[in-house]
Chains A and B, each alone.
Chain A
Amino acid sequence: MVVIGAGMVGAATAAALAASGRRVCVVDRTGPLGGTTAAGEGNILVSDKLPGPELTLALRSIALWREFAAEHGPAAEFEPKGGIVVAHDEQQLAALRDLGSRQAAAGVTVQPLDAGALRQAEPRLSADLAGGALYPQDAQVQPMRAALAYLALARRRGAVVVAGADAIALETTPGLVSALVTSRGRIATAVVVNACGPWSADVARRLGSALPVRPRRGRILVTEPLPVVIRHKVYEADYVSAVASDSAGLQCSAVVEGTASGTVLIGSTRDAAGFSVRPDPAALAEMARRATALFPFLAAVRAIRAYTGFRPASPDHLPIIGADPAIPGLFHATGHEGAGIGLAPATAELITALITGAEPLVDPAPFDPGRFAGHDPPGATFPQVSAWRAEPS
């Protein structure tokens, strides 16, 4: 079996397929961590999910992350730190309480925090906040280290990872996949998994199919290394609505978290701009302003760099996991938008069940790639390499 894409989803999928006894080859046009996995924060969240299929997948995925972390936690910098969502005013707090009670009914652990409890949980937070909620199940990994740990696990189970192999086309013998043609040669296989994140629409097109996945851009600002002053993943309540929004325009809501190396990551933005990594100082300034409103001490902290990444967004904000509707033997595991790190283990488990015929633990129907059949695929051809210098200034 061939997995295209050596990011977090491809790595976890390779490990799960190899665990089922399959011979697995992972190909990537560059190498491990060449795309979205290397441009995120490593979120493993239930707190930002509305009750529904994605939350069900997230709860299963958190359980799998904890199993993985029992053995590989330090290698992946797994931190079960918990998330705190904060509300600026009473109106936001009421909405947060309502969301929390619906999430709790769906199996999420939610602990309401009044203004005092909020400051106790996260002492550096602004005194102006109305309150918040603690989500102890939220966790964090260093996504690059986590993906490499999954790839290492896949290798120990016999998988092979081939870097610099760009997927070019599928060969089929009446109807069924028989080989994947790559820039480094042909690999005979009856099963191909497309785990190419925001590039999976382009890869699907090369393979004779179509997927409505588009890049949703995000920026992250990185501070100088600090002592541990921010304990949880902390974000504004309106982040949940920003995630669910369909707007192509720039949206910004503060997401702040420390990392094991001491830097603090400040997000987040969302906009649609193809694969442009052109710097946007105004967006960074807005993130800094919002983060400083949450944590006033950050005003005296230096930002040392920023980076840009692309989330694989699907039209209905649900991941795309399952069999291609037209080509037997082709599968997709993509469309996780900003939740791919968190959802990777459950995605890998689900796609493996669908490929091997095992009983899935999570209902695959909401994630079926066939739900878009008949829709127009995105018309634009996505560039293979992002290069802001290629654009007019």
Chain B
Amino acid sequence: MRNERVSFTFDDVPMDAQRGQTVAAALLAGGVSSWRVTRSGTRRRGLFCGIGNCFDCLVDVNDDHAVRACLVPVHDGDRVRTSDSVGYSPEHRA
């Protein structure tokens, strides 16, 4: 149980993680340190506060748009994607 691995994809690249890790932890453990850029497109963002406050680590998980990678546990089969935007747009939850 302790070392049980789960598989997920990050921008279609297969990765694995320890069950119970957050998406952010899994990405960091897999060598990915940033998964978003600021609106200007020039500054990379990833984990910052790590406790759900800063909204810097937003990522898309399956059909959920702009979730905080630091809070969401990764599940077997999850499709994790970098956001096309910095966050919500009305179309995403219409």
Q: Which residues of A contact B (CB under 8 A)?
A: 124, 224-227, 229, 260-262, 297, 300-302, 304-305
Select A227's contact among B38, B40, B55, B86, beta carbons within 8 Å.
B86
B85 within 8 A of A: yes
- A261-B38, A305-B53 are known contacts. Are A297 and B58 too (CB-CB below 8 A)? no
Within the complex, the shortest CB–CB distance from A307 to chain B, in Å, comes to 13
B60-93 at interface with A (beta carbon < 8 Å): 66, 85-90, 93
Q: Which residues of B contact A (CB under 8 A)?
A: 38-40, 53-55, 58, 66, 85-90, 93
- B66: A residues at CB distance < 8 A: 224
- B88: A residues at CB distance < 8 A: 224, 226-227, 300-302
- B93: A residues at CB distance < 8 A: 300
A262:B87 contact, CB within 8 angstroms: yes
Select A304's contact among B39, B40, B53, B85, beta carbons within 8 Å.
B53
Query: What CA separation (Å) do A297 and B40 show in the bound complex?
Result: 24
Report the nearest B residue to A299, measured CB to CB. B93
Query: What CA separation (Å) do A260 and B42 show in the bound complex?
Result: 13
**Total inter-chain residue pairs, C-beta < 8 Å:** 43
- B38: A residues at CB distance < 8 A: 261-262
Query: What CA separation (Å) do A355 and B88 show in the bound complex?
Result: 50
A224:B55 contact, CB within 8 angstroms: yes
B39:A261 contact, CB within 8 angstroms: yes
- B87: A residues at CB distance < 8 A: 224-227, 262
4 closest A-B pairs by CB: A225-B86, A262-B86, A297-B90, A225-B87
- A261: B residues at CB distance < 8 A: 38-39, 86
Within the complex, the shortest CB–CB distance from B69 to chain A, in Å, comes to 13
B90:A260 contact, CB within 8 angstroms: no
Report the nearest B residue to A297, measured CB to CB. B90
- A225: B residues at CB distance < 8 A: 39, 55, 58, 86-87
Query: What CA separation (Å) do A304 and B68 show in the bound complex?
Result: 11
Query: What CA separation (Å) do A262 and B66 show in the bound complex?
Result: 13
Report the nearest A residue to B85, measured CB to CB. A227
- A224-B66, A225-B39 are known contacts. Are A304 and B89 too (CB-CB below 8 A)? no
Query: What CA separation (Å) do A297 and B94 show in the bound complex?
Result: 9
Select A260's contact among B39, B53, B55, beta carbons within 8 Å.
B39
